[in-house]
Amino acid sequence: MGTMDDKVVLVTGASRGIGEAAVRAFAAEGARVVLLARSRGDIAEIAGDLGPDQALAVPCDISRFWEVSQAVEAAVDTFGRLDVVVNNAGVIQPIARLSEADPDAWGQTIDINVKGVFHGIRAAAPVMEAQGSGRIITISSGAAHNALEGWSAYCTSKAGAKMLTEAADLELRDRGVRVMGLSPGTVATEMQREIKASGVNPVSQLDWDDHIPPEWVGRALVWMAGPAGDSLGGQEVRLRDEDVRRAVGLID
């Protein structure tokens, strides 16, 4: 018996990195998982590994609400309910000084990192309210709190997503839905390779060994989706905190 038996979990940005790690962590605990990403082939391959009884791949651009809404409908039609949404999909580009940033690229980051989170909450909330239960977890970042050179789009978007998370919990908590954030710190994913290649600000100077593995984030998300998350509504859990790492079981 897994800790997530009979639960249905939808993960955005599920084709790689934190998203893939989350999908596999939830599946390992018995959850049925719904994978959303623009990379049709990648999520199909991961879902194929898990099998049709446990996984559903839905190609989706989270910047378009109708696509996210249809993905939620597909999850409910296939598995009968929706218990957890992980708003993970996000982009770091453009990494550029404000005076040089491409306006269209800057706006696209807002579309994905902020509107994408809103779309996930907006599509899932009515389903969860009708059930009387649910959990929505947004991947946050220290960038939501501290400005960094070249990251105006990313920092702004993460700050917006943090406030969306708090607003959603305020509105949904009395209806059985808990909304919270997870700030994992720096994670060994493709995004960190983009950051490293940019050479901009101190984060790009970190060594690869400084980053935690995405599997740690997957395990933390499973922990938050369980009983431990009952008291975390509206909060931002920081995986850099050793007490959190200990509670998740990542360190002794």
CATH number at residue 213: 3.40.50.720
For every residue of the chain, which 3-state class applies, written as one string?
Answer: CCCCCCCEEEEECCCCHHHHHHHHHHHHCCCEEEEEECCHHHHHHHHHHHCCCCEEEEECCCCCHHHHHHHHHHHHHHHCCCCEEEECCCCCCCCCCCCCCCHHHHHHHHHHHHHHHHHHHHHHHHHHHHHCCEEEEEECCHHHCCCCCCCHHHHHHHHHHHHHHHHHHHHHHHHCEEEEEEECCCECCHHHHHHHHHCCCHHHHCCHHHCECHHHHHHHHHHHHCHHHHHCCCCEEECCCHHHHHHHCCCC
Give the whole-number percent of the chain exceeding pLDDT 70: 100
Query: CA-CA distance, 131 to 82, in Å (whole number)?
Result: 9
The residue ranges of the chain whose pLDDT is under 50 are none
pLDDT score at 150? 94
Q: Decide if 2 is inside a domain.
A: no
Q: Decide if 59 is inside a domain.
A: yes
pLDDT score at 226? 95
From the candidates 118, 154, 216, 223, give the one annotated as an active-site residue.
Answer: 154
Domain span at residue 227? 8-247
154 carries an active-site annotation: yes
Angle, vertex CA 80, rays to CA 72 and CA 13, nearest 5:
35
Q: What tens digit of pLDDT does each residue of 22-56 get?
A: 999 999 999 999 999 999 999 999 999 999 999 99
Q: Decide if 1 is inside a domain.
A: no
Q: Decide if 139 is inside a domain.
A: yes
pLDDT score at 2? 83
Query: CA-CA distance, 193 to 179, in Å (whole number)?
Result: 30
Q: Decide if 236 is inside a domain.
A: yes
Q: Decide if 155 is inside a domain.
A: yes
Q: Decide if 33 is inside a domain.
A: yes
Indicate the number of domains in the chain.
1
Q: Decide if 3 is inside a domain.
A: no
